[in-house]
Amino acid sequence: MSVAVVGTDTGVGKTVVTAALVVRLRAQGTDARAIKPAQTGFPEDDDADYVRCVCEDEAAAVRLRTYGEPLAPAVAARRADDPIDYETLLEDTRGAMANTDVGVVEGAGGLRVPLSNEPRREIVDLVSDLDVPALVVARSGLGTLNHTALTVEALRARDISVLGVALNRYEGASVAERTNPEEVERMCDCPVWTLSESELETPEDVRKLAESLPPLHRQLRE
């Protein structure tokens, strides 16, 4: 079974969670691969290469489209005069998923980020058309309740199964952080996990984070 790793926003840690999930699955003998349909801000930002570095394997990740400006894919593509053909991108993503036991498809920004212009499609459309469940990555601190609940609501409105929510960079330093896991679980009616991402400076740090992942990897291997 494949999965989409989606975020409540940009910069919440989707790539780190994707890398940790892929390295955990591969360590257990599953042919897992990160799939980045559209990478912007390239080559300074290269999520696929980050996963490859963590896994120490070039086959651990693939990117399908790249654009130089750090913008929404549809906007970056339009400005580069290289528009994304949505149906072709969808088929390419499906093809990448078919070439591995577990495809971990990483979104770009949040669900409503524009992915293509003609036709107008967003990240949530891609997840829906791929017919895969989603893991939501969100911030841990103050303000995450609204963003996370709206993201889960948007997924379910499209009949996308939500595997759970990963509250990233959790430190428990504030009352908001300490109470958010229980509140998100109540609001979203799904499993909630806290992940500490305070010292992820090396690939080994990400591998250690992978060891703290919940039993989600077992579901994806079924």
The CA distance from 211 to 194, in Å, is 13
- Predicted local distance difference test score (pLDDT) of residue 197: 65
For residue 106, say whether it is annotated as part of any ligand binding site: yes
- The single residue of 36, 63, 65, 217 carrying the catalytic annotation is 36
For residue 52, say whether it is annotated as part of any ligand binding site: no
Q: What is the pTM of this model?
A: 0.94
Kindly report the CATH class assigned to 3-129+139-214. alpha beta
**Cis preceding linkage at 43, omega within 30:** yes
208 is catalytic: no
For residue 158, say whether it is annotated as part of any ligand binding site: no
Q: For residue 122, what are the β-bridge partners?
A: 114
**Order of strands, edge to edge, in the sheet holding 61-63?**
61-63, 32-36, 102-106, 3-7, 134-139, 162-168, 192-194
- Predicted local distance difference test score (pLDDT) of residue 205: 82
Question: Which of 142, 141, 137 has the alpha carbon at shortest distance from 155?
Answer: 137
- Predicted local distance difference test score (pLDDT) of residue 210: 80
- Predicted local distance difference test score (pLDDT) of residue 215: 65
For residue 143, say whether it is annotated as part of any ligand binding site: no
* pLDDT average per 10 residues of sequence, the chain (222 residues): 95 93 89 97 96 94 98 98 97 98 96 94 98 96 97 98 93 95 97 78 78 66 56
For residue 180, say whether it is annotated as part of any ligand binding site: no
- Predicted local distance difference test score (pLDDT) of residue 222: 55
For residue 168, say whether it is annotated as part of any ligand binding site: yes
